[in-house]
Amino acid sequence: MKKKLYPKHLNRENYFLTPIWTAYEPQFVKELNKASDPYIKASKKRIASDIKTRNKTFGNKGDKGFVYHSTSLMNDPKFNQLSRYVVDTATNLLKEMGHNLNDHVVFLTELWVQEFAKDGGGHHSAHTHWNGHISGFYFLKSTNKTSRPVFHDPRPGKTMIGLPEVKKENITYASPEVAYNTKPGTMIFFPSYLTHEYPPDIGYDTFRFIHWNCQAISKGALESYKKGWIDYSN
């Protein structure tokens, strides 16, 4: 029998890692659900005619497939506490990743709430946020029957391997994606370059969450970028 040859010990070094951070912060849920209600109501009113036209044209019923997006929440003081929390956390996470922020200030550049169609079908295809450094979600209404965020391996070369996994339910170096189950109060932060999606929602339960993007702006360019943004860094 031919003897197998291999090193007695191999040192594994992990590089180019992509972090995802989670927390459970239920203290904002009740207040922000109430604060976001008018925004979702306004969004439903804005696209009501689109739904009516779609259904008349194609014979559909209800709001199946739609996602209700709010306008910006950044100027609403009801969301200031969450905004400060997000910016402080994003700043710490960028430093944790090894970024030097001595000449940069982290800003909240986008903040909005969205709710998937009550009749199901609401979803987001895989995408990234090119205009941010740290992005995230805060879930206001979700259950084990609603859609969930799915993150994809950001390394393009990984798709070239094409080998099967031993157990797809186990997250390993072979896994091409990871999904998170959420509940009201779940908070997720991730690098904005990380591809993510929301598979089609079934429509059993209401699915609502807040989404944000944060960007670190150099102090030299601050004045030109700062116009129209709220500084939560102080």
The model's pLDDT over 16-40, given as tens digits with 9 standing for 90+, comes to: 999 999 999 999 999 999 999 999 9
- Given this model, what pLDDT does residue 233 score? 58
Length of the chain: 234
Which of 38-42, 158-162, 181-185 shows the lowest per-residue confidence on average (mean pLDDT)? 158-162
Topology (CATH) of 21-46+63-153+172-226: Jelly Rolls (2.60.120)
Q: Where are the domains of the chain?
A: 21-46+63-153+172-226
Give the pair of three-digit tokens for residue 215: 């960007």
Average pLDDT rounded to a whole number, residues 94-109? 96
Burial 85-118 (b: 16+ CB within 10 A, else e): bbbebbbebbeeeeeeeeebbbbbbbbbbbbbbb
Q: How far is CA 224 from the centre of its chain?
A: 27
pTM check: above 0.85: yes
27: left (phi over 0), alpha (psi -120 to 50) or beta: alpha
What is the amino acid identity at position 177?
A: E
